[in-house]
Amino acid sequence: MDDMKIKLLQALEQNHKISIKTLATMLKISEKEIKEMIEELEEAKIILGYVTLIDWEKTDNNDNVTAIIDVKVTPQRDVGFDTIAQRICRFPEVKSVYLMSGSYDLSVMIEGTSMKKVAFFVAEKLASLENVQSTATHFVLKKYKQDGIVFEEDENDHRLVISP
Amino acid sequence: MASGIKGIISLGVGESDFVTPWHIREASVYSLERGHTNYTPNSGLPELRQQICRYLHKKFGLEYDYSQEILITVGVSEAIDIALRCVLEPGDEVIIPEPCFVSYKPCTLMAGGAPKTVSTQEANHFKLMPEDLEEAITDKSKVLLMSYPNNPTGAVMNREELEAVARIVEKHDLLVISDEIYSELNYNGDHVSFSSLPGMKERTVLLNGFSKSFAMTGWRVGYAAASEDIISAMLKVHQYTIMCAPVMGQMAAIEALKNGEEEVKRMKAHYDQRRNLIANGLNQMGLSCFEPKGAFYVFPSIKSTGMNSLNFCEELLKEEKVAVVPGDAFGQCGEGYVRCSYAASMEQITEALNRMERFLQRQQKQKKIFALNN
């Protein structure tokens, strides 16, 4: 992939609300080229979506609970971990699924409206899947940083207004 | 004047808007925890000087002996002062291309020298032209004091252009104090250190530091690299006035050189994109500026407005709460220009550009009304 595409992706990864016009000025290429590149990247599924990072704690809708579950599974012949991972992905409660090195295999992040619902999901849906050997559930108590963004940070500019 | 106003956007700041990278801050905190709170050797921690030599070699192919030819100073500002004090005899002329950093002239005067300024022009992208340099030289000329990439213009000089300067330096037996504090912020290829040019190492006092490249302005760590004669003379002034640069800053600087390269690259990439945004925006609203190639400043001409630099800055601040610096603060030939720093967030730059455009439109309207009434 060429250098310009990487630069475009890096800019969009930080802020996808940035306008095509601004992107064109920043990267010194035409708006048309930017548009085409974005379309191309979307089609190639390199850009998978544009999500917004929200601190739900600051809203009234803040009683969701998040859990990270270590899942041990028996890999299957020919397909390894892929089939079971894809099955787990299909549940809408599941926010992310990673294959891990180390003492367990899949790291599954789940969000639910209550602890009970998450526990129920793990017991009924996840642990009962064929090939799942065991699960260990860790509830998230507080989020400090996600996707490179610190939730509560002192953002004051300490600089003098004018300096040489 | 600017500091009391609320809602102000400042493009007047001569330092990075990034905070010092965390790994550097963390290393300094750790060094304090371990009790590194003492004096260091006068010339600075040996490990830091070694790291600097390694850095200068890797970046510019320079060979310096860390034990004799490097001095750690309290920022480049101190280094400028003591270098001038060590090399000047009363009445010696110091040639200073302008616009330039604010301390060059006063430090020359304080050291008993006679500043002789050379104006650089927008038409030449504010580079030092060999013929202008040649013209400024007299029998009393001793030092050429210059800084590229340049604050406030954003000008850089490439190898051929510096070589032309070097030939004149050699011909007239000058010494060069080369302030290369913005060396990491060159968007037009690799920085060429003046002392890396053939025959120039012996004639150059190379000054550099950590403020701009690693976003470490408040730490006050810089260094001078020069021949043993000059460094030992500078060390005498340094040891009796400063003793040594603060140890926590020196510890942080070691970490910066060891592991900071990625962060430097990251910050530079950000500046580069903002540079395109601001230069383009200013040109579009009719404040012509050449494309700056280094540091984090643009230096647009405001001559089309009919105002002088100070006036422009004051009115812009009053009406639209945008702070920029009058160009004549950096020398008489900076009149008619203002310095805008793009060490500010994308959002701040965009908003500042909007406000400046509104300001210009209002000015133009007033000019028209004035013309109609007369």
Task: Please say which residue of B259, B291, B316 terminates a domain.
Answer: B259
pLDDT under 70: residue ranges of chain B: 1-2, 374
Tell me whether residue B287 is in a domain: yes
Residue A89 has pLDDT above 80, yes or no: yes
Tell me whether residue B316 is in a domain: yes
Mean pLDDT of A54-68: 90
Residue A151: pLDDT band (50, 70, 90) is confident
- Sequence length of chain B is 374
Strand order in the sheet with B175-179: B70-73, B222-225, B204-209, B175-179, B141-146, B93-98, B114-119
> What's the number of CA atoms in the CB half-sphere (13 Å) around residue A51?
7
Within this chain, do residues B6 and B29 fall inside the same structural domain, yes or no?
A: no
Nearest to B121 by CA among B159, B158, B144, B150: B150
- What's the token pair of residue B140? 């009393």
Tell me whether residue B103 is in a domain: yes
Task: Please give the Cα distance from A41 to B112 (Å, whole number).
Answer: 63
Tell me whether residue B148 is in a domain: yes
User: CATH number for the domain including A136?
Assistant: 3.30.70.920
Contact B280, B349 (CB under 8 A): no
- Nearest CB among B13, B269, B280 relative to A25 is that of B280
Contact B215, B18 (CB under 8 A): yes
The 10s digit of each residue's pLDDT in A26-48 is 999 999 999 999 999 999 999 99
Domain of B215 in residue numbering reads as 22-259
User: CATH number for the domain including B177?
Assistant: 3.40.640.10
Within this chain, do residues B292 and B233 fall inside the same structural domain, yes or no?
A: no
Tell me whether residue A115 is in a domain: yes
Within this chain, do residues B6 and B90 fall inside the same structural domain, yes or no?
A: no
Within this chain, do residues A61 and A19 fall inside the same structural domain, yes or no?
A: no
Within this chain, do residues B298 and B350 fall inside the same structural domain, yes or no?
A: yes
Tell me whether residue B374 is in a domain: no
Q: Which alpha helices (DSSP H) does chain B contain, by range?
A: 22-33, 46-60, 75-87, 104-110, 130-136, 159-171, 228-241, 247-259, 261-284, 309-320, 346-373
Within this chain, do residues B286 and B160 fall inside the same structural domain, yes or no?
A: no
The 10s digit of each residue's pLDDT in B104-162 is 999 999 999 999 999 999 999 999 999 999 999 999 999 999 999 999 999 999 999 99
Within this chain, do residues B201 and B131 fall inside the same structural domain, yes or no?
A: yes
* Structural element, H or E, at residue B298: strand B297-298
Q: B-side interface with A, Cβ within 8 Å? A: 2-3, 8, 10, 12-15, 17, 101-103, 151, 269, 273-274, 276-277, 280-281, 323, 325, 329, 346, 350
The 10s digit of each residue's pLDDT in B1-17 is 667 778 999 999 999 99
Total-model pTM? 0.88
Q: Is A163 on the interface with B (CB under 8 A)?
A: yes
Count how many pairs of residues, chain A against chain B, have C-beta atoms within 8 Å: 51
Within this chain, do residues A81 and A109 fall inside the same structural domain, yes or no?
A: yes
Within this chain, do residues A64 and A141 fall inside the same structural domain, yes or no?
A: yes
Task: Please give the Cα distance from A61 to A58 (Å, whole number).
Answer: 8
Say yes or no: ipTM exceeds 0.95.
no
Nearest to B184 by CA among B22, B49, B11, B55: B55
pLDDT at residue A115, rounded to an integer? 92
Q: Residues 6 or more apart from A163 whose CB is under 8 A from it?
A: B12, B13, B14, B15
Within this chain, do residues B271 and B233 fall inside the same structural domain, yes or no?
A: no
Cβ–Cβ below 8 Å for B15 and A159: yes
Within this chain, do residues A81 and A123 fall inside the same structural domain, yes or no?
A: yes
Q: Is A161 on the interface with B (CB under 8 A)?
A: yes
Within this chain, do residues A61 and A127 fall inside the same structural domain, yes or no?
A: yes
Cβ–Cβ below 8 Å for A164 and B323: no
Query: What's CA B288's distance to the chain center, in Å?
Result: 22
Q: Is A160 on the interface with B (CB under 8 A)?
A: yes
User: CATH number for the domain including B268?
Assistant: 3.90.1150.10
Tell me whether residue A70 is in a domain: yes
Mean pLDDT of A106-128: 94
pLDDT at residue B1, rounded to an integer? 67
Task: Please say which residue of B212, B238, B259 terminates a domain.
Answer: B259
Within this chain, do residues A75 and A36 fall inside the same structural domain, yes or no?
A: no
- What's the token pair of residue B115? 């500043």
Task: Please say which residue of B232, B259, B286 terminates a domain.
Answer: B259
Domain of A10 in residue numbering reads as 3-43
Q: Is A148 on the interface with B (CB under 8 A)?
A: no
Contact B298, B278 (CB under 8 A): yes
Within this chain, do residues B115 and B164 fall inside the same structural domain, yes or no?
A: yes
pLDDT at residue B27, rounded to an integer? 95
Domain tally, chain A: 2
Task: Please give the Cα distance from B191 to B212 (Å, whole number).
Answer: 14
